[in-house]
Amino acid sequence: MARRHDTRIGHVVALIELRFAEPYSVAELARSVNMSASYLTRLFRLHTGRAPAGFVRDVRLRRAYELVQTTFLTIKEVMAAVGWNDPSHFSRAFKRHFGVSPQELRDALAREYTAARRAG
């Protein structure tokens, strides 16, 4: 039997992606769609393959990666912009997710830019 899409999960996903830097609890997300936290977690995992907290973390990390690549914000400013509070936890999570720390990514991009300017 095919699984029916639940629009409430789509609402929660959209809320997270729109306001990713805000602190969320599963209870708050569940209240936004009028369901219990445990039922939201179960449905969210069923529809996305992830728990809500993991989904929020991944959205924040993807946005942080974009900011490191495309802005001159410091790593601490990037961290704050995506709703992260602990620099060492942020750096470890970023490295675990992308294989490089935010500073390593920024340094690699700077080296690429310098090499391209010399070649151009």
Mean pLDDT over 28-57 rounds to: 95
Q: What pLDDT score does 3 carry?
A: 53
Instruction: Indicate if the pLDDT at residue 1 is higher than 90.
Output: no
Residue 2 has pLDDT above 70, yes or no: no
Say which residues have a Cβ less than 8 Å from residue 109's Cβ, sequence separation at least 6.
68, 69
Q: What does the alpha-carbon distance between residue 107 and residue 52 come to, in Å, rounded to a whole number?
A: 32
Could you tell me which CATH number the domain at 7-52 has? Answer: 1.10.10.60
Quick one: pLDDT band at residue 7, thresholds 50, 70, 90?
Answer: very high
- The stretch 22-34 carries a mean pLDDT of 93
Predicted confidence (pLDDT) per residue in 59-103, tens digit: 999 999 999 999 999 999 999 999 999 999 999 999 999 999 999
The whole-number pLDDT of residue 68 equals 97
Question: Cα(83)–Cα(77) distance, rounded to whole angstroms?
Answer: 10
Per-residue pLDDT at 114: 87
Instruction: Tell me what pLDDT residue 110 has.
Output: 87
DSSP characters for 25-50?
-HHHHHHHTTS-HHHHHHHHHHHHSS
Start-to-end CA span in the chain (Å): 58
Q: pLDDT band at 112, cuts 50/70/90?
A: confident
CA dihedral 81, 83, 87, 91 (to 10 degrees): -90
Q: Where in the chain is the domain with CATH 1.10.10.60?
A: 7-52, 55-119
Please give the CATH number for the structural domain made up of 55-119.
1.10.10.60
Query: Does the structure show a pLDDT above 90 at 117?
Result: no
